[in-house]
C-alpha cells in the first residue's frame, strides 16, 4: 500500500508565521527551532517546506500566548500576497467571484490540509472551512484562516460587505466583542464547521487591481505546479521511478552547469527536502549516493573523449577542479583519471 504523502507548503507561509511570532516578542531562534528546520531551508520565497514545520510553529505560538486572540491578530495583518502565487492570481482577477473560484481551485498550494467548500442560494454565499484535528483543537490557527480569508478579500475588494454570520466549531475563547469587532457581524460557536455567510452580491464586486493577462499567466503557472505535485505523487508510488527521477534531475542540473543540491532537486520535484530524503531512504539510497553515482557514470563516459581535458571533465560533473575528480576517480576505480584514460586508448 502506498504510504500517504507528506504534505508541504510554500516557505512563505512558514516565514509569515515566524515573523508574526517575532512581532509578539518570541526569539527568532526559538521559532526556527520549533519548525525543525534551519534558516537556510526557509529563505527562498518559492521554497517548499514540510507542513509539519508550520504546524509546530503554531503550536509554539499557542503555548506562549494561551489567552490571546493571536489568530485574529495574525489575520488582521493579512494581504492577498501572503498567499503567494495564489494570492497574486486572486488580486489580479476581474471580480470577487473569479478570485474566490481560483482560491478554491488552487487551495492545495496554500494549505494541503485545509478544505473549503461553498454553497450559493438566491440571497447568500456560504463558505465552509474544515481542517485536521490538531488545528481544530488549537482553534487559533482556524480563527486565523477564517479571519485571513475575510481580510484578504476586503483588501482585494474594498467595498466587500460584512458577513451576515460567522461560526466556529470550538467554544468561544475570547470575549464576544473581540469577534464581533473583527467580523462586524454575529459570531456563533460550537458549530459543526467553521462558516462564513455573505450576501450574494459579494460575488459580483469588481477588483480595482485586476489584470486579466497577468491573472491568466499566473493561473497557468499554478496549473503547472498542481500538475507537478500530482506527477510527483504518481512517481512516488514506485520507488525505482522516484530514484530514477532524482538521477535524471541531477544530470539535468549538471548539464545546466549547476551544482546539484538536495534543496535544488527537491524544489524541482515540488517536495520538501525532508520528503526527498525519506523517499530515497525508502529506496535504500540517499541523495549523496545518487549524486556520486551520476558523477561516476558521466566521468566514465567523458574520460573517453580525448577532446576534453581532465579539468573540463571535472567541471562537467560538478567538481571544482581536476584534483577533486582525481580523488573521486581513485575511490571509484583504484586508478587516476589519466591512467584510466591511457589504459583505454
Read off the pLDDT of residues 66-92 as tens digits, 9 standing for 90 and up.
Answer: 999 999 999 999 888 788 889 999 999
Residue 156 lies in a domain: yes
Residue 39 lies in a domain: yes
Closest CA to 95 of 181, 23, 156, 166: 156
Distance between CA 230 and CA 321 in Å, rounded?
Answer: 39
Give mean pLDDT, residues 182-211. Answer: 96
Considering the domain architecture, whether residues 31 and 116 belong to the same structural domain is answered as: no
Residue 13 lies in a domain: yes
Q: What is the pLDDT of residue 1?
A: 36
Distance between CA 126 and CA 104 in Å, rounded?
Answer: 13
Considering the domain architecture, whether residues 97 and 192 belong to the same structural domain is answered as: yes
* pLDDT more than 90, % of the chain: 54
Q: What is the pLDDT of residue 72?
A: 98
Residue 227 lies in a domain: no
Distance between CA 8 and CA 6 in Å, rounded?
Answer: 7
Instruction: Tell me the CA distances in angstroms from 208 to 80, 283, 326, one per residue in order.
Output: 13, 51, 62
Distance between CA 316 and CA 311 in Å, rounded?
Answer: 9
Considering the domain architecture, whether residues 37 and 124 belong to the same structural domain is answered as: no
Q: Report the range out of 106-115, 229-238, 267-276 with the highest average pLDDT.
A: 106-115
Q: What is the pLDDT of residue 46?
A: 59
Q: Which domain holds residue 324?
A: 238-343
Domains in the chain, number: 3
Boundary-marking domain end, from 13, 39, 66: 66
Lowest-confidence region among 202-211, 291-300, 301-310, 327-336: 301-310
Considering the domain architecture, whether residues 295 and 327 belong to the same structural domain is answered as: yes
Boundary-marking domain end, from 211, 229, 254: 211
Considering the domain architecture, whether residues 91 and 187 belong to the same structural domain is answered as: yes
Lowest-confidence region among 37-46, 197-206, 212-221: 37-46
Considering the domain architecture, whether residues 195 and 154 belong to the same structural domain is answered as: yes
Considering the domain architecture, whether residues 59 and 160 belong to the same structural domain is answered as: no
Considering the domain architecture, whether residues 103 and 185 belong to the same structural domain is answered as: yes
Q: Is the dihedral of CA 323, 324, 325, 327 positive or negative?
A: positive
Distance between CA 273 and CA 6 in Å, rounded?
Answer: 11
- Output b/e per residue, 39-74; b: 16+ Cβ within 10 A: eebbeeeebbbbbbbbbbbbebbbeebeeebbbbbb
Q: What is the pLDDT of residue 3?
A: 42
Q: What is the pLDDT of residue 64?
A: 96
- The mean predicted confidence, pLDDT, of the chain is 88
Q: What is the pLDDT of residue 101?
A: 93
Residue 332 CB neighbour total at 10 angstroms? 17
Q: What is the pLDDT of residue 131?
A: 93
pLDDT in tens, 2-34: 444 567 777 888 889 999 999 999 999 999 999
Main-chain dihedrals φ then ψ at residue 129, nearest 5 degrees: -120, 130
Q: What is the pLDDT of residue 171?
A: 96
Using 50, 70 and 90 to split pLDDT, how confident is the model at 154? very high
Considering the domain architecture, whether residues 168 and 110 belong to the same structural domain is answered as: yes
Residue 79 lies in a domain: no
pLDDT in tens, 225-246: 777 666 555 555 555 678 888 8
Considering the domain architecture, whether residues 273 and 332 belong to the same structural domain is answered as: yes
Greater confidence, 243 or 157? 157
Distance between CA 128 and CA 118 in Å, rounded?
Answer: 6
Considering the domain architecture, whether residues 130 and 175 belong to the same structural domain is answered as: yes
Residue 61 lies in a domain: yes
Give mean pLDDT, residues 93-111. Answer: 92
Q: What is the pLDDT of residue 98?
A: 95
Q: What is the pLDDT of residue 264?
A: 85
Distance between CA 266 and CA 281 in Å, rounded?
Answer: 14
CATH number for 256: 1.10.10.60
**pTM passes above 0.75:** no
Residue 335 lies in a domain: yes
Q: What is the pLDDT of residue 341?
A: 85
Give mean pLDDT, residues 94-116. Answer: 91
Q: Could you tell me the three cell numbers for 70?
A: 493571536
Alpha carbon 251 to its chain's center: 25
pLDDT in tens, 27-72: 999 999 999 888 777 776 556 788 889 999 999 999 999 999 999 9
Considering the domain architecture, whether residues 94 and 185 belong to the same structural domain is answered as: yes
Residue 201 lies in a domain: yes
Amino acid at each position: 500500500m502506498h504510504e500517504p504523502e507528506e504534505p508541504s507548503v510554500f516557505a512563505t507561509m512558514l516565514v509569515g508565521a515566524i515573523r508574526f511570532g517575532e512581532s509578539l516578542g518570541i526569539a527568532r531562534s526559538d521559532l526556527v527551532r520549533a519548525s525543525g528546520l534551519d534558516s537556510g531551508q526557509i529563505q527562498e520565497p518559492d521554497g517548499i517546506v514540510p507542513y509539519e514545520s508550520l504546524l509546530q510553529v503554531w503550536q509554539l505560538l499557542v503555548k506562549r500566548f494561551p489567552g490571546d486572540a493571536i489568530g485574529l491578530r495574525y489575520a488582521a495583518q493579512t494581504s492577498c500576497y501572503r498567499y503567494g502565487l495564489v494570492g497574486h492570481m486572486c488580486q489580479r482577477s476581474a471580480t470577487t467571484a473569479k478570485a474566490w473560484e481560483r482560491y478554491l481551485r488552487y487551495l492545495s498550494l496554500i494549505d494541503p490540509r485545509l478544505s473549503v467548500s461553498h454553497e450559493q442560494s438566491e440571497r447568500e454565499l456560504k463558505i465552509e472551512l474544515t481542517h485536521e484535528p490538531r488545528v481544530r483543537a488549537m482553534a487559533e490557527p482556524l480563527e486565523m484562516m477564517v479571519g485571513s480569508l475575510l481580510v484578504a478579500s476586503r483588501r482585494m475588494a474594498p467595498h466587500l460587505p460584512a458577513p451576515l454570520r460567522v461560526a466556529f466549531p470550538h467554544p468561544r475563547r475570547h470575549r464576544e466583542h473581540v469577534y464581533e469587532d473583527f467580523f462586524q457581524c454575529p459570531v456563533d460557536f460550537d458549530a459543526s464547521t467553521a462558516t462564513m455567510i455573505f450576501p450574494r452580491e459579494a460575488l459580483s464586486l469588481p477588483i480595482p487591481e485586476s489584470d486579466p493577462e497577468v491573472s491568466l499567466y499566473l493561473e497557468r503557472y499554478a496549473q503547472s505546479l498542481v500538475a507537478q505535485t500530482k506527477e510527483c505523487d504518481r512517481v512516488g508510488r514506485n520507488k525505482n521511478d522516484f530514484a530514477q527521477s532524482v538521477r535524471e534531475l541531477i544530470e539535468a542540473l549538471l548539464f545546466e552547469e549547476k551544482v546539484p543540491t538536495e534543496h535544488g532537486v527537491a524544489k524541482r520535484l515540488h517536495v520538501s527536502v525532508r520528503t526527498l530524503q525519506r523517499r530515497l531512504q525508502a529506496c535504500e539510497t540517499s541523495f549523496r549516493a545518487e549524486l556520486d553515482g551520476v558523477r561516476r557514470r558521466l566521468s566514465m563516459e567523458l574520460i573517453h573523449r580525448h577532446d576534453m581535458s581532465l579539468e573540463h571533465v571535472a567541471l562537467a560533473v560538478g567538481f571544482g577542479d581536476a584534483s577533486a575528480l582525481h580523488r573521486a576517480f581513485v575511490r571509484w576505480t583504484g586508478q587516476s583519471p589519466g591512467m584510466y584514460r591511457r589504459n583505454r586508448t
